Amino acid sequence: MYKVVIVDDEPLIVDGLRKILDWDRYGCIVVGEGHSGKEGLALVQKHEPDILFTDIRMPGMDGLTMIAALRSEYADMQVVVLTGYRDFEYARTALNLGVQRYLVKPSRMKELDEAMTHITERLEKIHGDRESLAENESYTANNFIVKQAISYMEQHYREKLQLTDVAEQVYVSHWHLSKLLNSTGRSFSELLNEIRIENAKKLMEDSSLHIIDIAERVGLAETAHFSRVFKKHTGISAGEYRNKYLR
């Protein structure tokens, strides 16, 4: 039996979808129901379903980032979006991230049946071919998550930022985000320090700022640590850089 999770902030939608579809007909069983993005993510982590029906315009949830996270971390899971959001570009991006069907509420029974037929056929192919169609599709989702993570780091590099903080923002586990970032050839700490040093170099153009001030502004408040990181990334000390390039 294929496991199904249904998530929507409208309880009537969740209840209706559970009752209206003949899940047995498709060899499926509903194993979890949620009413928020946070609940949905917890249910996916708990049950690791084969199929997820979800709204993506729920409070406190970035829908596209959530979709990318799910497709990235659960490559074979089939995602169906049920939403009242009709924006074409949003829908196209969702489909590029591996969503199998983007259905606008209220969805007709014919659309739901077609979606389930399509999805169960895909699951049969995936389970019979471990090269997996889904693994190829997850490449786009992985790139999306990496870009979102780096973007968040670029906005918050001044803070005492940890891998778990960034992972929470892009809705994946910290170990999965670590793996994705490592695929770029740099670890989380290397990427973060690179961002910090690039911003430190810009701040050095202001001759009124002391090195200790710059270090604090880029999130490396301990001057000795800042100096080590700066030299590692540029090959010279912060003082030498300022004298050599900013005369």
Beta strand pairing status for 78-83 and 51-54?
Answer: parallel
Query: Under a CB-based contact definition with an 8 Å cutoff, are residues 167 and 104 in contact?
Result: no
- Per the DSSP assignment, residues forming a β-bridge with 101 are 80
Task: Provide the pLDDT for residue 95.
Answer: 86
Task: Provide the pLDDT for residue 218.
Answer: 94
Task: Provide the pLDDT for residue 2.
Answer: 95
Beta strand pairing status for 101-104 and 78-83?
Answer: parallel
Sheet of strand 28-34: strand arrangement = 28-34, 2-7, 51-54, 78-83, 101-104
Residue 160, φ and ψ in degrees, nearest 5: -80, 85
Task: Retrieve residue 135's tokens.
Answer: 């693994």
Query: Under a CB-based contact definition with an 8 Å cutoff, are residues 66 and 76 in contact?
Result: no
What distance, in Å, lies between the first and last C-alpha atoms of the chain? 70
Task: Provide the pLDDT for residue 247.
Answer: 63
Task: Provide the pLDDT for residue 244.
Answer: 79
Residue 79, φ and ψ in degrees, nearest 5: -110, 130
Helix axes 63-73, 88-96, angle to 10 degrees: 10
Task: Retrieve residue 86's tokens.
Answer: 């009709």
In a 3-state reduction of DSSP, which class is residue 36? Answer: coil
Task: Provide the pLDDT for residue 182.
Answer: 94
Structural domains in the chain, sorted by start: 2-131 (3.40.50.2300), 139-245 (1.10.10.60)
**pLDDT mean by block of 10 residues, the chain; 247 residues:** 92 90 94 88 92 85 82 88 82 86 86 93 81 64 92 95 94 93 94 95 89 92 90 90 76
